Amino acid sequence: MATHIHILGISGSLRRGSFNTALLRNAQAMLPEGASLEIADLSGIPLFNQDDEHAPPEAVVALKAKIAGADALLFAVPEYNHSIPGVLKNAIDWASRPVADQPFSGKPAAVMGAGGRFGTARAQLHFRQIAACLNMLLLPKPELMIPSAQQKFDADGALTDPEAREQLKALVDALVAWARKLR
Ligand SMILES: Cc1cc2nc3c(=O)[nH]c(=O)nc-3n(C[C@H](O)[C@H](O)[C@H](O)COP(=O)(O)O)c2cc1C
């Protein structure tokens, strides 16, 4: 029997109607056999202050534990001003400290995104730089960039575009295979 893979999904948007959080919810519904996906909640993470890196707030401790316990990470990254949102960078900065105790190193991960004219391509490139800095093992391909997201989801957040659904399924399957390969 294949090893169970538990994925932690992290969305860079706190928006109620977020397409990126919706993307993670759609991924939850198309997981292959032997995989689970939990979506992290970044809404309680305060602004990073290095004074507190050795005694971080409870929400950060909880997030770090979830990252450490996951077999793989799946980031859903909106594009804000050609980069990743501050909400996501802030959470990553907290979790990355102190360096000796950062849970990203060696962690299989994948990135995807929905929204905007180029489907978050520029934000994902920035995200790849950050992931490399933290020694995440980021899946090189397939890539998933969903432009014009408002036309690809219904009012309930279901991804209705057949091509995007196929691409999301391919990414999720590849991440699970990647995590099993790297165990
Ligand atoms: C502060 C801000 C900056 C944005 N900058 C960009 C951008 O540079 N490129 C782009 O394509 N879309 C940009 N957008 C549009 C977002 O990508 C779009 O609203 C997307 O749906 C946000 O993700 P979400 O639906 O998960 O909240 C920006 C939106 C905000 C709020």
In tens, the pLDDT along 12-27 reads 999 999 999 999 999 9
pTM of the model: 0.98
Tokens encoding 97: 């400290």
pLDDT over 80 at 1, yes or no: no
Ligand 1 mean position to 68 CA, how many Å? 29
Higher-confidence position of 20 and 1: 20
For ligand 1, say whether the CB of 13 is within 6 Å of any of its atoms.
Answer: yes
For ligand 1, say whether the CB of 150 is within 6 Å of any of its atoms.
Answer: no
For ligand 1, say whether the CB of 80 is within 6 Å of any of its atoms.
Answer: yes
Domains in the chain, ordered, with CATH? 5-182 (3.40.50.360)
Binning the chain into helix, strand and coil, the percentages to the nearest 5 are 40, 15, 40
Calpha distance 127→77 (Å, rounded) = 8
pLDDT of residue 155: 97
Q: Could you read off the pLDDT of 161-175 as tens digits, one per residue?
A: 999 999 999 999 999
CB atoms within 10 A of CB 127: 26
pLDDT (mean) for 135-148: 98
For ligand 1, say whether the CB of 124 is within 6 Å of any of its atoms.
Answer: no
N residues, the chain: 183
Tell the residue nearest (CA) to atom 21 of ligand 1. 115
